[in-house]
Chains A and B, each alone.
Chain A
Amino acid sequence: MSLHTDSGPTVIAPAPRQRHAAPGSGRRFRSWLDLKAVPYLLISPYFLLFAVFGLFPLAFTFWYSLYDYDLTGSEKWVALGNYAELLSDSQFWTAVVNTLAMFVIATVPQLLLALMLANALNKRFRGQLFVRMGVLLPLVTSVVAVAVVFTQLYGRDWGMVNWILSWFGVDPIDWKAERLPSWLAIATMVDWRWTGYNAIIFLAGMQTIPRDLYEAAAIDGASRRRQFWQITVPMLRPTMIFVVLNSTIGGLTLFAEPIMFYGGRIEGGSNNQFQTVAMFIVQKGFNEFEYGYASGAAWLLFLMILIGSLINFLLIRRIGGRK
């Protein structure tokens, strides 16, 4: 018994300690949960969704790009064969050139115009809200509706653009058959829809620039123009990076407008005059059922966007870089 009673406290003694320690570690666990885990838990839905709908398809696409996979036929491992074939496929390169050309033709004037527009909208005038909303209006129209209307405007025989050009003695242009005109036509569709959107983002960025900077500059005798280039533009840099990256991604994945421009056909003109890389992928994947080949093209487009975004990011970072 004595042994028993003796050992009693030794058995019991650690118990309170344990009992004491338990709430301690619980608190630690809870605070760990609170500070470290919960934030991750809370943002995890995004990452889970991204993993399921972003990362997995990305990896799966890459996996299939290593196969010669014909939906209606066979499946055969070809390693990088699809990529080698793509790089020597003249239609792919036509699509790359078309995409880049339309991106440049559409985006450069669009962003400059949006910047000017935002600057104008940033001043005080009557009906401010109305005009600002109006600028956004094209964005809410459906891409297809825009494309249908513009396609009619750019008709070869009965289009309004050719009719107006005829006043100046210009021969009718076959907008869908000639390469440069087709690019211009599609670029105007893109610009009509997206210039206002970018202008509003620029405008939001401009309104975060402190007023006193302008006041100080005005007191020092800086002209409006000087204020714009030396205060507005450098201070807008973060906004610009966002807008440019967004436009790069949008421009390089251009799809709906050129498809509608050719009556819903995926080839983008009789000689692929305005077929973009995104259209090329769909044609190969879903019209010709070469899934592997299309997957390879999708990965090349992904790389193209990465590189394009990087170049643009570096360029924009230098804007007003004297700091």
Chain B
Amino acid sequence: MNDNRRRGRSIAAAVAATAALTLAAACGGGGDSGGSGGTAESGAPAQPVTITLQTFGGGKNFGYEEAVKKWNAENPNIQIKHVNLTDQFEQVYWPQMIQWLTAGQGAGDVIGIDEGGMGLAKAHPEWWTDLAEYGLDKRKGDFAEWKWQNGIDASGKLFGLGTDIGGMSICYRRDLFEKAGLPTDRDEVSKLWPTWDAFLETGQKFQEKVKDAKFVDGTNTIYNVMLVQEAAKNGNVAYFDTNNNLIVDSNPAVKTAFDYSVKLSQAGLTAKLRNFTDEWNTGFKKSQFATLGCPSWMLGVVSGAAGDEFKGKWDVAAVPGGGGNWGGSWLAVPKQSKHPKEAAQVLDYLTGKDAQVSVFNFAGNMPSNTQAQQDPAVQTAKDEYFNDAPKGEIFAKSAAELQPVFLGVKHAQVKNAVEQVVAAVDDGSVPADQAWQKLVDDAKKAAD
């Protein structure tokens, strides 16, 4: 997933819930359970071991709540303590994690890493436990080739296994579309915008009729959706080429996505809200916008931010311009973990089929585990919140075809700098005619 899934307000709730679950689980029975991938649990330790799982994203974030509950009930000797640190990956979680990894203490036993951090993670083999030592190299068949390869560091050792991937869609508000005289059925809505130009025209039609809400949330979600689509057309690279050279100024994908987001803003179609801010969350509650770019993990974000009162008012339509992959994460075991064996077992379970199916049903994050993708429970899954949208059909079908975009070592820093400018154009603090130059300059500074 990208920098965030959800607001952090539920961090405390999540921690409290996990703590309560741990207590409840302590009374639960034993029972054996290994990872779905097949590493056998050999000789449970005498003392119960607590494995700290650190993730990012608010609300349902990695979607592990139910999977962790199940594990803790079945494994009294290895208890997972899930701590979701923050909703912001690039700005908060990753800088903090890098400090912990460099300092040799502070990081959890199993940690989540967003795709944007993988370039740097791979460049530092000294940070990670070799998962092959605990038999996880057997899991290769569970993942698409690219998702597997990205979990192998510069020294050639397996250090991370994939959790989710980000298929694309557009989330839209049925009631606001109705108000604008547009169709509300998801198939008809999908037909409204075969291309991004058609999306813009639909927005203009919407805006003519509706004055108290905007067509899209801001520039950033659409920018990111379009960037990965365009990247797929330009050799699957975004800000860096595969030799880690910055190509922001020469990659047409960046310019195309940026120009389009500027166009949206200048047409007055944006609510000028930056995603993953308090104002953006309020925007859901106050119905300030009708659509936003929705990778699969964004469904959980929307339902969490908007809340129950908007249940059934949101729906999911196809994205203009074809598929793409925005986001997706990996789990890894830091070298500093005192219980690498148990941590590897937990990691095995959390990336396994059962846990991933549970995650998809609970939060909507599309599994990268191919067995989970093919599971009927995923294929036929519907999302009640989104008017029973067949999210399994929408995301699982495209999942197999997803192409990874190469992300450089300093991707997280450059992404942050670029998104600053994408937001600044929208709020008017950088004039549109100077924005591209600033974007290129800031990206260069961040990369250097």
Contacts and interface: CB of A to CB of B under 8 A. Distances in A.
Contacts of A266: 91
B306 interface: no
Interface in B86-109: 88, 91-92, 95, 98-99, 102
A178 B282 contact: no
Q: Which of A71, A151, A177 has the most CB of B within 10 A?
A: A177
A72 B429 contact: no
B277 A263 contact: yes
Interface in A260-289: 263-267, 269-271, 273, 286-289
A261 to B, nearest CB: 11
Nearest to B288: A157
Contact of B446 (A71, A179, A288): A288
B95 A287 contact: yes
A72 B424 contact: no
B413 interface: yes
A193 interface: no
Contact of B429 (A91, A270, A289): A270
Interface string B217-228: 000000000000
B423 A289 contact: no
Contacts of B120: 72
B286 A271 contact: no
B393 interface: no
Nearest to B8: A264
A287 B91 contact: yes
A263 B283 CA distance: 15
Contacts of A271: 420, 424, 429-430
Contact of B98 (A71, A158, A263, A270): A71
A268 B427 CA distance: 14
A155 interface: yes
Interface string B240-273: 0000000000000000000000000000000010
Contacts of B288: 157
Contact of A72 (B88, B98, B274, B428): B98
B279 interface: yes
B115 to A, nearest CB: 17
Contact of B420 (A71, A72, A177, A267): A267
Contacts of A151: 278
B339 interface: no
Given A72-B120, A287-B91, A288-B413, A269 B429 contact: yes
B98 A174 contact: no
B138 interface: no
A247 to B, nearest CB: 29
Contacts of A156: 272, 279
B311 interface: no
B124 interface: yes
Given A72-B102, A72-B120, A289 B427 contact: no
B282 A158 contact: yes
Contacts of B278: 151, 263
B277 A72 contact: no
B273 to A, nearest CB: 8
B95 A286 contact: yes
A270 B446 contact: no
Nearest to B428: A177
Contacts of A71: 98-99, 102
A134 B120 CA distance: 52
Contact of B99 (A89, A177, A263, A286): A286
A188 to B, nearest CB: 19
Given A174-B427, A265-B91, A289 B98 contact: yes
Q: Which of A264, A269, A270 has the most CB of B within 10 A?
A: A270
B102 A270 contact: no
B385 to A, nearest CB: 24
18 contacts: A89-B445, A155-B279, A155-B282, A156-B272, A156-B279, A158-B282, A174-B272, A177-B424, A178-B429, A265-B88, A269-B429, A270-B421, A270-B423, A270-B426, A271-B430, A287-B416, A288-B413, A289-B95
Given A157-B283, A157-B286, 18 more contacts: A72-B120, A157-B282, A174-B272, A177-B424, A177-B427, A179-B429, A264-B91, A265-B91, A267-B420, A269-B429, A270-B274, A270-B421, A270-B426, A270-B427, A270-B429, A271-B424, A271-B429, A287-B413
